[in-house]
Amino acid sequence: MTNNIDPCTLVLFGASGNLARVKLYPGLFRLDLLGRLPADLKILAVGRQVVDLDAWRADIKSMLDAKFKKGYDPQVFERFIARNFYHANPPTDPDAFNKLKATLSDTQTFPQNLAYFLSVRPVDFAPVVESLANVGLTQEDKYWRRVVIEKPFGTDLPSAKALQAAITKHLKESQIYRIDHYLGKSALQNILLQRFTNTVLEPIWNNQYIDHVQITNTEMLGVGDRTQFYDSTGALRDMLQSHILQTLALTAMELPKDLSPEGVRDAKIKVLEQIRPIPVNELEKHAFRAQYSAGEINGEKVPGYLEELGNPDSVVETYAALKLFIDNPRWQGVPFYIRTAKRLHEADTRISIRFKKAPLQINDQDQNWLIIGIQPRECIKLEIQSKIPGLDVQTRTIQLDAANRLDSDDSVDAYEALLLNLMQGDNSNYLHISEAEAQWRLVDPVVKAWAEDKRPVHQYPAGSRDPEASKVIFEHQDQFWRYSIALGGDKYSH
Ligand code: BG6
């Protein structure tokens, strides 16, 4: 099955970079193994260095060997490797893009529908688009031309607008594919389907029944060797502005008019634009940040963020939590707590929904939670109260727990799904400019206020739970951070 993909050439800028090595080439190869690539798909790597084709193909083999440790079908490998070509585009060569055009004009080798994947530094997005346009390589007539822009699309609202203005001189919105790789995850795509294909969920998905929603991404990993990038970005921009707000949009959106790319994106844009701006004059009730200090992860001692960075004065957060409200009839009054952290005690991404108190309350803590696990476990779990068999009237919480992913299911990586969508011309899992803008509009004032506030930032030891002080953003005393669904009794933070 090749999903009616037009013959096309995928042009990969930054082809020897980490993303290409770890995700894009292995992802494309897996699509080939699954029989999902069209027979006449070609892949043209564009890199700064001059590399001959044999050496490049050997390099691709090393990328695949690193990923597919158990080996792979040699016939598919032969087919895949024959799809691959290399073009050197030295930054110093003023004629580089004309030469690229000349390479691509070999119509015997390269189908003329062209998808450019810009896995390059963000500052190079606009110049590459401009250079492609200057030699006529973005012009659509008989053939389509699409451009994938990696995250981040800008670093704030003005820079996102500037990037948009620069690239829309040459591209229509329908040609631009802005990546948020979370949208390629099956678990995220499932949120919309699970919500709206189940009669039992939709009627209770509103402020009449829901007390609050938590959308959480925590990692045990630290910033690793990305200290420089991270210190100019921070957790709020790195994760909340993008992946977590997209997860929120899917959790909170209205039923789209249909499942077309426009239908889905319109519904997401609408809800993102309905999020109430965060009041900076009382920021401390709505936003909390912290940094990890030295601690222990899996029994191993690890340094704190400031030590890794080598700058004791940084106020950049590795933990960020926000309280948001959505001003529409469905969600009026329901807080959405979104948070992300590096080096917390567990790595888990989930949506936790707490329902309002039931009319009969036997224990104080009795409340229904519905949890959608995104990763590592894809599942849906409902906690309900039930009588403890015996002579007394006592209840306990029991769990209905179902896997959204079975062992036998295909484990398609987010990038594989997104690459396939790109070739199919389906941009529903890519960001519309209005989504990127709404997300920046929301977080920009917080980023600015935090950058200006040079007081020392709260610390949490690596491997610990949420800092106690983070609870300041809760609306009600009885609210608390909900932990992993896998830990049974260990799930509450109070
Ligand atoms: C990236 C962030 O976008 O997403 C990283 O820059 C983060 O800091 C990563 O670790 C998380 O992605 P995933 O798919 O591993 O949850």
CATH number of residue 299's parent domain: 3.30.360.10
**Measured distance CA(11)–CA(145) in Å, rounded:** 11
Q: Is residue 487 part of a domain?
A: yes
Question: How sure is the predictor about 3, in pLDDT bands with cuts at 50, 70 and 90?
Answer: low
122 and 206, same domain (yes or no)? no
135 and 200, same domain (yes or no)? no
Rounded distance from Cα 239 to ligand 1 centre (Å): 7
Tell the residue nearest (CA) to atom 14 of ligand 1. 182
Q: Over 70: is that where the pLDDT of 487 sits?
A: no
Q: Is residue 303 part of a domain?
A: yes
- The ligand 1 atom at the shortest distance from the C-alpha of residue 226 is 8
Domain hosting 283: range is 183-410+444-493
Tell the residue nearest (CA) to atom 9 of ligand 1. 239
Rounded distance from Cα 182 to ligand 1 centre (Å): 9
The torsion angle over the Cα atoms of residues 153, 335, 231 and 466, rounded to 10 degrees, is -150
| Domain's final residue, options 94, 127, 150 | 150
Residues with CB under 6 A from ligand 1: 151, 219, 238
396 and 457, same domain (yes or no)? yes
117 and 251, same domain (yes or no)? no
Give per-residue pLDDT as tens, 374-399: 999 999 999 999 999 999 999 999 99
Q: How many other C-beta atoms lie within 10 A of the C-beta of residue 494? A: 9
Q: Is residue 52 part of a domain?
A: yes
Q: Is residue 159 part of a domain?
A: no
DSSP 8-state code for residue 365:
T
Q: Give the per-residue pLDDT at 493.
A: 43
193 and 114, same domain (yes or no)? no
Burial of 194 (0-12, 13-18, 19+ CB in 10 A): middle
Rounded distance from Cα 329 to ligand 1 centre (Å): 33
- The ligand 1 atom at the shortest distance from the C-alpha of residue 217 is 16
| Domain's final residue, options 126, 150, 174 | 150
Alpha-helical runs (H) found in 210-353: 227-231, 234-235, 245-252, 261-273, 305-309
Q: Is residue 1 part of a domain?
A: no
Q: What is the total count of domains within the chain?
A: 2
DSSP 8-state code for residue 152:
P
143 and 216, same domain (yes or no)? no
- Domain of residue 53, CATH code: 3.40.50.720
132 and 215, same domain (yes or no)? no
Crossing angle between the packed helical segments 25-33 and 414-424, to the nearest 10 degrees? 70
**Measured distance CA(316)–CA(278) in Å, rounded:** 19
| Domain's final residue, options 99, 128, 150 | 150
Q: Is residue 93 part of a domain?
A: yes
**Measured distance CA(47)–CA(62) in Å, rounded:** 17
Q: How much of the chain exceeds pLDDT 90, in percent?
A: 93
336 and 190, same domain (yes or no)? yes
Q: Over 70: is that where the pLDDT of 35 sits?
A: yes
Closest listed residue to residue 64, CA positions, set 36, 34, 24: 24
Question: How sure is the predictor about 401, in pLDDT bands with cuts at 50, 70 and 90?
Answer: very high
Give catalytic residues, as residue numbers.
243
Rounded distance from Cα 225 to ligand 1 centre (Å): 14
128 and 192, same domain (yes or no)? no
Q: Is residue 364 part of a domain?
A: yes
Mutate to test the pocket of ligand 1, among 181, 228, 343, 416 (most ligand atoms within 8 A of CB): 181
Q: Return all residues near 434 (Cβ < 8 A) that are at least 6 apart.
A: 269, 272, 273
Q: Is residue 164 part of a domain?
A: no
Q: What is the DSSP string of 308-341?
A: HHT-TT----SEEEEEE-B-STTTTT--EEEEEE
